[in-house]
Amino acid sequence: MARVSAFYRSTVGKKVLMAITGFVLLGFVVVHMIGNLKAFMGAEYFNTYAEALRALGAPFFGHGQALWLFRIVLLGSVLIHAFFGIQLWLVSNRARPIGYEKTPYLQTTAASLTMRWGGLLIGGYVVYHLMHLTIGNVNPDFIPGDAYHNLVVGFESTTAAAAYVIAVFVLALHLYHGTWSALQTLGLNHPKYNSWRRGIAAVLAIVLLVGFATVPVAVQLGVLK
């Protein structure tokens, strides 16, 4: 137990928890993207899929119950990820009270440098995203149960579509560094495969960026309507 508490108190332990929750969220994002692409199979297919998500786990779970379970896990992951992220951010800020006149940015990338603000931005966007397409209170014409309709209506607004694409871009950037960083934090390295880690992270980020951005772009181009 002493070790667990030492682990929890350490910056490394907190980061490990961030890495684990990060992978949970990454899994969700991948599934989410695949789900989105089902929009290209037509309204009926898409709505059936959306309904199937609610029916998940039947008959052991009631309607929507399993989905809520997933939502709770996701919410928990987000909170843990964000909480420790912010805590470690503060630790690092305190570690250098006086900054450099000439800042050494060595081997850093846009992705690695934007992890924290990017994370906050993604968090903020997710709230809007839920109000936009799940709750519907900021959607111009929200029809509960008709997910395909809500999606198309939601992305007919150029602003909303652009915001989505930007958010996805930030997410891809976050995951490009995040995936690699999480592997490193979990100590998952091996001289043989180390060079693959960056590559996997890059491919993942690009696939997600393209996969997610396709839907709003398709709506804007009138492919989905």
Helices (H) and strands (E) in the chain, counts: 9, 0
Minimum Å gap between C-beta 138 and another protein is 33
Minimum Å gap between C-beta 189 and another protein is 4
Name the DSSP letter for residue 190: -
Of the pair 144, 191, the CB lying nearest another protein is at: 191
Q: How far apart are CA 146 and CA 152, in angstroms?
A: 10
Of the pair 6, 75, the CB lying nearest another protein is at: 6
- Report which of 66, 71, 81 is spatially closest to residue 23, judged by C-alpha positions: 81
Of the pair 129, 177, the CB lying nearest another protein is at: 177
Minimum Å gap between C-beta 209 and another protein is 21
Instruction: Compute how many other C-beta atoms are within 10 angstroms of the C-beta atom of residue 67.
Output: 15
Contact assessment for residue 208 and residue 29, using Cβ atoms and an 8 Å cutoff: yes
Minimum Å gap between C-beta 120 and another protein is 15
Q: Which residues bind another protein (CB under 8 A)?
A: 3-4, 6-7, 9-16, 88, 91-109, 112-113, 115, 177, 180-181, 183-189, 191, 194
Write out the two tokens for 221. Answer: 């181009």
Of the pair 167, 182, the CB lying nearest another protein is at: 182
Of the pair 164, 180, the CB lying nearest another protein is at: 180
Minimum Å gap between C-beta 92 and another protein is 4
Q: How far apart are CA 218 and CA 67, in angstroms?
A: 28
Strand, coil or helix: what is 189? coil
Write out the two tokens for 24. Answer: 């949970």
Minimum Å gap between C-beta 18 and another protein is 10
Write out the two tokens for 62. Answer: 């009631």
Of the pair 1, 221, the CB lying nearest another protein is at: 1
In single-letter form, the type of residue at position 14 comes to K
